[in-house]
Amino acid sequence: MNFCRKLISAGMASCLMILTLPAMAEWTVVDRENPELPGSRIDVLNDSNPVAALIYGEGQSKTYLHVYDAEGNQLTMSGMDADGQDLGRFPHHRGIFIGWNRIHTDLGVDDLWHLRAGGRIELAAYEAEICDGGVKLDTTMNWRSRHAEADENLVLVENRRLTISQCNGRTIVDFDTTLTAERDLRLDGDLQHAGVHYRAHHTVGDRANETSYLWEPTGLEDRGGRLISDDFQWVQFVYPKGDNWYLVTQLNAPTNPTEELSWRDYGRFGFFHKDELAAGESRELSFRFIVQQISALETAGQINETEEARLRALAAEYYEAYLAQD
C-alpha cells in the first residue's frame, strides 16, 4: 500500500499526546492568540510550515478550519480582517465549516449558518495528538441559541475530529463529526445555507469566471448550482489564487444522509441534508477534503475532455482509498 499509504490511513497509528514532545516529530501544534484575526488559533505545522489552523474564540461566531498549500499559502476564507470587519463576498463563509440556517427547537428558530442575529458555534474543549503522518484534533463544540441565556441556550454538542496530514504536496483533512441534540430539534434550511462546506479564499470571488466543478455521479441536472442525489461520491473544484492553481476534492462517505450538493463559482461548495434529532440522539457525518496545487487549465473556467478524464480518474482513486481506510 503506497500512494502515501493510500492517502494516509484515517487510523494514523502511533499518536503522541502533545505535551513536551514537538522536538521528536516534524509535526507540531501551537495554540496562540491570532495576530491576523480576532480570537485565537490552533496551528498545525509540518516542519514549522502551516498546514491548517483551527480558528476560534472571542470575536468569532463559528469555529472553522483554514487550509494552506505546501508553500504555506492560505487557501481558505477568513471573512473578516484583523479588526473584525467583513472581508470578501459572503463573509459568513469561512474555511471548512458546518452549519444550518434554520434550526428549530423549543427555544425558537436559530440561524447557525450566517450567525448574524446571535447564536454561536464555540470551541469548548480540544485534545491534540501528533501521529505517524499528521495530527488529530478532537474537539467539543457547543452550538448555542440566541433565544436564551448562556446556561439555558445549548442546542447541540458537536464532537468534531479533524485528522490533518500531507502527502506529496497534498493537504488532507478528514472531517468526522458527531452531532448530539441537547433538546428535540430539526436541522432545516436549504442547500445553499446548510451542511459541511469549503470556502476558497475571498480573492477567488474576483476570478469566479475562471473556476470549474466536477462531481460524481454524472448525468445529474444542474439546477443553477444545485444537484440532487442520494449517491454522491465526490465533488471537485478547480480555482486560481494568485499565480497558482488548485484542486479541492471533497469526498462524501456513503454513510452520510446526503441529499443535495451545492456549489457556487466564487468557491463555496458542500453537501447538505435535513434531519430531525430527539434530545440525546446523535448523527455522525464524515467527509475528506484533499487540497493540492495543479497545472493551470488550458482554458480557464473550462475543463476539456482530457483534463476531465484525468481529474475524474484522480477522484476515483481518492474515493477508493477513502472507502478502504482503516
Distances (CA, A) of 111 to 62, 153, 160: 12, 14, 20
Spatial distance between the Cα atoms of 97 and 194, rounded to a whole number of angstroms: 10
**Within a domain: residue 254?**
no
Spatial distance between the Cα atoms of 204 and 221, rounded to a whole number of angstroms: 25
pLDDT at 271: 96
**Within a domain: residue 38?**
yes
pLDDT at 130: 95
**Within a domain: residue 72?**
yes
CB 191 within 8 A of CB 226: yes
Domain carrying residue 128: 3-208+272-294+312-323
- Full DSSP string of 126-162: EEEEEETTEEEEEEEEEEE-SSS-TTT-EEEEEEEEE
Burial of 215 (0-12, 13-18, 19+ CB in 10 A): buried
pLDDT at 80: 87
Total count of domains within the chain: 1
Spatial distance between the Cα atoms of 162 and 95, rounded to a whole number of angstroms: 13
pLDDT at 23: 41
Residue 227: all three cell numbers together: 444537484
**Within a domain: residue 146?**
yes
Instruction: Enumerate residue ranges in the chain where pLDDT < 70.
Output: 1-25, 326
pLDDT at 19: 31
**Within a domain: residue 216?**
no
**Within a domain: residue 232?**
no
Q: Could you tell me which residues are beta bridge partners of residue 175?
A: 162, 287
pLDDT at 25: 43
Tell me which amino acid residue 229 is.
S
CB 191 within 8 A of CB 180: no
pLDDT at 14: 41
pLDDT at 128: 97
Residue 179: all three cell numbers together: 452531532
CB 271 within 8 A of CB 198: no
**Within a domain: residue 219?**
no
In this structure, the number of other CB atoms found within 10 A of the CB of residue 126 comes to: 18
CB 318 within 8 A of CB 251: yes
